[in-house]
Amino acid sequence: MTYGSSGGDRLNKNERREAAREKAKTLRDQQRKKEKRSRLILQGSLILVVVAFAAGISLILMNSVRPPAPGPRNMLSDGILISEGFTAKSTPALQPGNDPVPNERDEEADVISIQIFVDYLCPVCRAFEEANQEQIAAWIESDGATIEIFPHAILDRYSQGTKYSTRAANAAACVADFSPNQFYAFNSILFENQPDEGSSGLTDNELVDLTEQVEVEKASAVAACITDQTFAGWVADARDRNQLGPIPNSNVTSVTGTPTVIVNGLQYTGALNDSSAFAAFVVQAANASFNESSSATPTPTPVPAP
């Protein structure tokens, strides 16, 4: 028996050369196909990136040119004016595309005008509220002062994506629209139940529950307004207007943070958690009200530390 390949199985030199060429051709064809697939995948990926980028740009442009939103009734100035008896000034709603109509301060009257821009997630706003709410309420009850409250939602990024600042401001606008004389109480209870920054904030149902605790009128309409976020667009528009400025009848060029507190047109820059310092500023502001020819800000009288 003979082992090994038979003579018929052996390839001659030309046949081996031809086989090598065929193998090389096959390898080249496979490589070309692989490169073509890679190019197609790369091109497809680039197209997807371009489409996504274009969609992002379109979304930004859409948001930047969003149509103006109607405001709530009783907030024609973008704020709600509360006076003696905690009664809100009645106004029509701000119509889309219109400019807010500021409340004019009577410089001849002895009534102090207090304006405050608040974010309901702002801990410093709560500190101001806790320190000064009692004396401000007493001034309002005695017809010694009015307060105009402007919801100013700038802290949405601190509520785990739930946009609590906007939702709380919308809830306040809903109360202003349907039950304005309960607005002052609702403003206070929002701060009493203020969630921590970095939390998800109160749910819409919890906000509705707070409106029931202050016994709003037209409770079902207020609840629907909150859950539908009826005034979320106005909240964004009002924030943009405040940040652009200037704030009418004051020495404030724009609202850059919360709380921004203005007394008789003059911005308070003292300690926000010091009721004595704020009271001293109010007394001085009453005698040095802002007018178009003067923008001086009185310095709060130093108060001895306990």
Angle between the N-to-C axes of helices 219-228 and 164-178, in degrees from 0 to 180, rounded to the nearest 10: 150
Q: What predicted TM-score, i.e. pTM, was given to this entire model? A: 0.76
For residues 155 and 119, the answer to whether their CB atoms sit within 8 Å is yes
For residues 119 and 153, the answer to whether their CB atoms sit within 8 Å is yes
Supply the pLDDT for residue 77.
98
State the Cα–Cα distance between residues 259 and 6, nearest whole angstrom. 99
Cα distances (angstroms) measured from residue 66 to each of 48, 49, 92, 189, 268: 26, 25, 23, 32, 34
For residues 83 and 74, the answer to whether their CB atoms sit within 8 Å is no
Read off the amino acid at residue 158: Y
State the Cα–Cα distance between residues 45 and 30, nearest whole angstrom. 23
Intervals of the chain under pLDDT 50: 2-8, 58-64, 292-297, 299-306
Cα distances (angstroms) measured from residue 173 to each of 17, 23, 44, 93, 187: 87, 78, 47, 11, 10
For residues 272 and 265, the answer to whether their CB atoms sit within 8 Å is no
State the Cα–Cα distance between residues 6 and 148, nearest whole angstrom. 107
Nearest to residue 235, comparing CAs of 148, 180, 171, 161?
171
In 109-256, which ranges are continuous DSSP H helix?
123-141, 164-178, 183-192, 204-213, 219-228, 232-244
Supply the pLDDT for residue 260.
98
State the Cα–Cα distance between residues 104 and 180, nearest whole angstrom. 20
Supply the pLDDT for residue 45.
66
Supply the pLDDT for residue 188.
98
